Amino acid sequence: MTAEKPRKYSYLGPAGTFTEAALRQVPEAAGQVWQPVVNVSQALRNVTTGVSDAAMIAIENSIDGGVSATQDALASFGNLQIYGEYLVQVDFVLVSRPEVQLREVTTIAAHPVAYAQCRSWLEQHLPEHQHIPASSNAQAAADLFAEGTVIDAALAPPTITEHFELAVHGSELVDNPGAQTRFVLVGKPRPAGQPTGHDKTSLIIDLPEEKAGALLTLLEQFAARGVNLTQIASRPIGHHMGSYRFFIDAEGHIRDARLRHAVMGVKQYSPRVTFLGSYPRADRVQPKVDPNHTDAAFADAEAWVAGLIAGN
Ligand SMILES: O=C(O)C(=O)C[C@]1(C(=O)O)C=C[C@@H](O)C=C1
């Protein structure tokens, strides 16, 4: 018998990021090969080229909203699917090399999403500071030790002190306590799993241009079938001013009749629909399904129409 090849997982590195903490929530990833990368595009490229079997990426933050780099990368790569969703509670520490005092801090390295989450605290406590963008929260801390660095302090996950010797000038920093980042595990497309009763379906939908009420028509596809949406986010397509795509998360599974019919409605009207998968939601919340929109109700209606066609 040949041993099974270890699976490979890309994640935003280096060790110590929140993305790594999200990957730790995936039981199948334990003991497999973890591949740190420098950005989301690299993580997704690893999946499409077969370097990795899956990638963990941050998709939304409860303070800063959708992670635009992730949304744009998912739209441009195509041919990817979300396997699972994970939530990580986020707050930060402000750290420096041990000899640096807080009053000496003028430059602060931070991932732009992390910076946005602590903006008010920093403006209040270090009003003169300058933000230096870092590729991740753990990299911000690593940059404190780079040769010739101009960085005095970094915003990093609390576990960063396990990786470097640091002075901690502030902890539990975050403008809204209880902030969370939502991560998704992404791989190549595969057949849809079975509904769990607490699923979410993610879609990227390009809006037809110059059509009055285009957004309303899009939303009606879901509303008319009793499908609740948990996220509606728009990003420019980039061709020219005024062209948009929508990132939609809908409650339900592509195997649920109400969701399937809504997706068929969207497909008939949008120039481009990308199906990003149906997967169990991290909070395990079960949607309330109106009795008119259950699978049985759709089956009844179809049987009724079949009867009409048959002349019954
Ligand atoms: O994973 C990390 O630690 C990151 O640096 C990335 C990231 C993100 O891309 O949103 C993850 C979670 C935090 O909300 C801020 C930054």
Question: What integer pLDDT is reported at residue 4 of this predicted model?
Answer: 82
What number does the ligand 1 atom closest to the CA of 157 have? 3
CA of 136 to the centre of ligand 1 (A): 6
- Pair (152, 272) in one structural domain: no
Question: Do 69 and 184 have their domain in common?
Answer: yes
Residues in the chain: 312
One-letter amino acid identity for 14? P
Do 100 and 81 fall into the same domain? no
* Residues 72 and 186 occupy one common structural domain: yes
Whether residues 44 and 183 fall in one domain: yes
CATH number of domain containing 305: 3.30.70.260
pLDDT of residue 240: 86
Where in the sequence is the domain holding 212, given as residue range(s)? 192-311
Helix (H) or strand (E) holding 125: helix 112-125
Same domain, 217 and 161: no
For tokens 């037809």, what's the residue?
A: 208
What's residue 266's pLDDT?
97
Return the best residue to mutate from 59, 181, 184, 185 for the ligand 1 pocket (most ligand atoms within 8 A of CB).
181
CB–CB of 209/33 below 8 Å? Answer: no
* Contact of 256 with 60, CB cutoff 8 Å: no
CATH label of the domain that carries residue 20: 3.40.190.10
Looking at residue 178, its pLDDT comes to 93
Q: Which pLDDT score is estimated for 282?
A: 96
Give the pairing of strands 153-156 and 107-110: parallel
| Nearest Cα to Cα of residue 31 among 65, 8, 57, 64 | 8
Shared domain for 67 and 185, answered yes or no, is yes
Does the beta carbon of 114 sit less than 6 angstroms from any atom of ligand 1?
yes
What pLDDT does residue 27 have?
97
- Tell me: do 19 and 102 sit in the same domain: no
139, 183: one domain: no
| One pLDDT digit (tens) per residue for the chain, 312 residues | 667 899 999 999 999 999 999 999 999 999 999 999 999 999 999 999 999 999 999 999 998 889 999 999 999 998 899 999 999 999 999 999 999 999 999 999 999 999 999 999 999 999 999 999 999 999 999 999 999 999 999 999 999 999 999 999 999 999 999 999 999 999 999 999 999 999 999 999 999 988 899 999 999 999 999 999 999 999 999 888 889 999 999 999 999 999 999 999 999 999 999 999 999 999 999 999 999 999 999 999 999 999 999 998
Cβ of 113 below 6 Å from ligand 1: yes
Of 110, 140, 170, the last residue of a domain is 170
Residue 182 CB–ligand 1 contact under 6 Å: no
Model pLDDT, residue 120: 92
Residue with tokens 């950005």: 39
The answer, yes or no, to whether any atom of ligand 1 lies below 6 A from the CB of 181, is: yes
Same domain, 16 and 76: yes
Closest CA to 282 of 5, 25, 56: 25
> pTM score, two decimals?
0.93
CB 112 within 8 A of CB 132: no
Q: Are residues 238 and 306 in the same domain?
A: yes
Instruction: Mark which of 158, 190, 222 sits at the end of a domain.
Output: 190
Complex confidence, ipTM = 0.95
Tell me the best of 59, 113, 135, 184 to mutate to test the pocket of ligand 1, counting ligand atoms within 8 Å of each CB and taking the most: 113
- Which H helix or E strand runs over 155? strand 153-156
281 in the same domain as 218: yes
Q: How far is the CA of 305 from the centre of ligand 1 (A)?
A: 51
Q: Per the structure, how many domains does the chain have?
A: 3
* Residues β-bridged to residue 85: 184
